Amino acid sequence: MAKQLLDYEVAQRVLGASLAEGADFAEVFAEDSMSSVASLDDAKVDELSAGHSKGVGIRVIYGDTTGFAYTSEFDEKSLIEAAKAARAVAKSLNKTKSIELEAAKGGFRGERVRIDKARQVELLRQMDDAARSMGKEITQVVAVVGQSSRRMTVANSNGLFVSDEQTRSRLMVNAIAKGDTGLQSGYDTIALTIPLEELLEEMDIDKIAKNAARLALSKLEAKPAPSGTLPVVIKGGSGGILFHEACGHGLEADHIQKGVSVYANRIGEKVASDLVTLVDDATVNKEWGTFHFDDEGHPAKRNVLIEDGVLVDYMWDRNRSNKSDHPQTGNGRRQSYKHLPMVRMTNTYMIAGQEDPENIISSTTKGVYVAKLSGGQVNTATGDFVFGTSEAYLIENGKITTPLRDTNLIGNGPEILSLIDAVGDDFSMTPGTCGKDGQSVSVGCGQATLRVSQMTIGGTADA
């Protein structure tokens, strides 16, 4: 059970002060976050740092108006002052507003994360050596080792009082290869919601480093990607970000209620191929977007969004669920105690199918095989998107052949979902960081190998 950051009686009195002038709802969010990061660049340790952030955010709601104040002090007097400040803002009938109160004096209370710096350096050197062992063409390696821990306690005027704790760890390698075509890069990462030493027990870090180097080396021989419309096969795990961006954001209830989503008012409608069942699930074991309670204290849930191609639900936080008389789904998230919660994704993934991934490739006469996407952007109102590739190959006569230079995939979310005609059985997930309205949170993305029968490739060669 997670350790409570606030005394129950203190939380009650702070909530009482928040509600003193007739507010409809009040919430206290306390957080203690610690992190450590070590990085190596060009065989030299570039950074060894640790951070510690601790504070309380208080939200007070009158009707549709929200007041929010935060402080890094934990004593009851400071919390009451923050509650009064949030209450005053909310009652003034201004738009949603945040106030930062006086910062804590004398530093943070509590024990900092104990960091084994020697161990971090050892891991950085190991990744550097593994990547460089792939060939003399690897001229530079950037490696990062990071771990963070976050404790939180949430109390609100509905009687909720819960605590949660998350520890996340990640390793990243970026390798640079030099050849006749200039400099090429390859990237790989592993990240899970577990302590670093557990991550190292489960994962082969040499394999991660060598894979980053392999990708950089393969790009030295890469050819221009085709331009035009072709079938696209996306490797398991690597394409999860496509669903995150192309439809995930459009299924967040704030976009729905604002009328800026192509999926608004379409519950019960066919929005994808029969092969598509899309889920958002914060309960997935150890994944990057996993937790026990969201940042409003609601239990983590597995939420089916699209089932057999039919839109069945959206993702909801407290405010949006109240406005629509819909149950919360555990999707209220915030970057820190200094931020208001909003509806966000957790681990968003498409359920695996039954096909052999090799058969999906062999049955594709001509197309593009995308082994890794590099991110993208989407217009939630229209569903139009652009995604970059960081590892892709031609498919010729049912075989993966020539590596391709980085290019773009261009399309429309609902249209692409309807064109998925094959789904493999090799489900996997990848970690990511999702940005929205100036806040960043950890998320997971996943899917099995799949084929989109037609997609626009933004290359320069003839298709």
**In the chain, what are the domain boundaries?**
8-219, 226-462
- pLDDT of res. 236: 95
- pLDDT of res. 91: 84
- Model confidence at 105, in pLDDT bands (50, 70, 90)? very low
- pLDDT of res. 339: 97
- pLDDT of res. 114: 57
pLDDT in tens, 356-366: 999 999 999 99
- pLDDT of res. 111: 42
Q: Is the model's pLDDT at 407 over the cut of 50?
A: yes
pLDDT in tens, 197-255: 999 999 999 999 999 999 999 999 999 999 999 999 999 998 888 888 889 999 999 99
Q: Is the model's pLDDT at 112 over the cut of 60?
A: no
- Give strand pairing partners of 169: 147, 192
Mean pLDDT of 284-288: 95
Beta carbons of 168 and 287 less than 8 angstroms apart:
no
Give the residue with greater pLDDT, 326 vs 101: 326
- pLDDT of res. 377: 84
Q: Is the model's pLDDT at 384 over the cut of 80?
A: yes
Mean pLDDT of 177-189: 93
- Model confidence at 37, in pLDDT bands (50, 70, 90)? very high
CATH of 8-219, one of 3.40.50.970, 3.30.2290.10, 3.30.230.70, 1.10.3720.10: 3.30.2290.10
3-state secondary structure string across 200-264:
HHHCCHHHHHHHHHHHHHHHCCCECCEEEEEEEEECCCCCHHHHHHHHHHHHEHHHHHHCCCCCC
pLDDT in tens, 129-166: 999 999 999 999 999 999 999 999 999 999 999 999 99
> What is the amino acid identity at position 431?
P
**What mean pLDDT is reported for the chain?**
92
Mean pLDDT of 275-304: 97
- pLDDT of res. 110: 38
- pLDDT of res. 95: 61
Strands (E), 261-365: 278-281, 302-307, 310-311, 332-333, 342-343, 347-350
3-state secondary structure string across 355-394:
ECHHHHHHCCCEEEEEEEEEEEEECCCCCEEEEEEEEEEE
Q: Is the model's pLDDT at 93 over the cut of 80?
A: no
Q: Is the model's pLDDT at 107 over the cut of 50?
A: no
